[in-house]
Amino acid sequence: MDGQWHDGMECAPAMIVTRFAPSPNGSLHLGHALSAIVAHDLAQARGGRFVLRIEDIDGARSRPELADEFRADLAWLGLAWDEVAPQSTRLARYAEAATRLRDAGLLYPCACTRAEIADAAPRTGPEGPVYPGTCKGRSVDGSGPAAWRLDVAEAMRRTGPLVWVDELAGEQVARPDLAGDVVLVRKEADTPASYHLAATLDDASDGVTLVTRGADLFSASHVHRLLQALLDLPVPLWHHHALLLDTDGRKLAKRRNAPSLADRRRSGEDGRALAAQLRAGKLSAGIRLSGVLHSAP
């Protein structure tokens, strides 16, 4: 990992590393199985490494005991992986990065409630109501509970235009502004870093060269590309894969009462056969794919 791939676009890294990074907030479902299989297979097809990372910093919702269930589910699907340190062991790294951005004048505290943001938001972005920057330039008393938001306009001014590459969708001009001034440090004391900050730092620490995840997280990659530039992190490639949808076009994960992978495993279903069906695009009635699953190798 020398300087050769800090700019990422020109040189393919020597070894591909993909990851599956579930949060132990609930059991895994079919959509998770697809994500894990895509990441695993892309690494395997290119002689690379597939990594499991447990994203266990979601405060009160995190149930660490589910990590064992996830491992059993992945093994049941016939996948092999290397596990890296869970997020809960990396808090100092998140705090250090946040301090660096704060010292650079790129973060500001925000004490707005969810309802206040929804009321004030002029538009809805990919992640919901776009924060209108209410607290920017205001002196919010940092002693109470406050989230720290990224001043995206100032950050983009400093980095200049950025691009990133999705294997399926091609080169993208980074538009982190679409999501507004995202939260990097959450208000809740037990959840020190937002998904954006933690996942970006972890992918760099874990040497992930190909970030695979569902197409619903496509917009997050604009933000992550900006964070990589601000924090001098290597730039990976991305692979946003198609999602499993129900007949109403909703993401399958939102469907209620679908059996979890653990339920299916315990009922004696053949996990390897299920994985083979997903790879072949043979889906049960009522489930479809939102688009292309695999790119050309």
d(C-alpha 76, C-alpha 154), whole Å: 47
Cα 120 to its chain centre, rounded Å, is: 27
Least Å distance, CB 132 to Zn ion, is: 9
Least Å distance, CB 134 to Zn ion, is: 4
Least Å distance, CB 113 to Zn ion, is: 9
> How buried is 69 (Cβ within 10 angstroms: 0-12 exposed, 13-18 middle, 19+ buried)?
middle
Q: Which is nearer to Zn ion, 4 or 124 (CB)?
A: 124
Least Å distance, CB 119 to Zn ion, is: 12
Q: Which residue has the tokens 């997020």?
A: 87
56 and 23 Cβ atoms separated by less than 8 Å: yes
Q: Which is nearer to Zn ion, 138 or 272 (CB)?
A: 138
Reported in sequence order, the residue ranges of 17-174 that DSSP labels E, i.e. its strands, are 17-20, 49-52, 82-83, 107-110, 124-125, 128-129, 147-150, 163-166, 170-173
Q: Which is nearer to Zn ion, 79 or 112 (CB)?
A: 112
Question: What angle do helix axes 30-45 and 66-76 make, rounded to 10 degrees?
Answer: 60
Q: Which is nearer to Zn ion, 101 or 245 (CB)?
A: 101
Q: Which is nearer to Zn ion, 183 or 261 (CB)?
A: 183
Nearest 5°: CA angle at 223, between 124 and 159?
125
Which residues within the stretch 123-142 sit at the binding site for Zn ion (CB under 5 A)? 134-135
Least Å distance, CB 123 to Zn ion, is: 16
Q: State how far the alpha carbon of 253 is from the alpha carbons of 84, 123, 207, 218, 261, in Å.
A: 25, 26, 28, 17, 12
Q: Which is nearer to Zn ion, 137 or 268 (CB)?
A: 137
Which residues within the stretch 106-125 sit at the binding site for Zn ion (CB under 5 A)? 110, 112
Which residues within the stretch 55-114 sit at the binding site for Zn ion (CB under 5 A)? 110, 112
**Count of residues near Zn ion by CB under 5 A:** 4
Which residues within the stretch 198-227 sit at the binding site for Zn ion (CB under 5 A)? none
The residues of the shown chain that bind Zn ion, judged by CB under 5 A, are 110, 112, 134-135
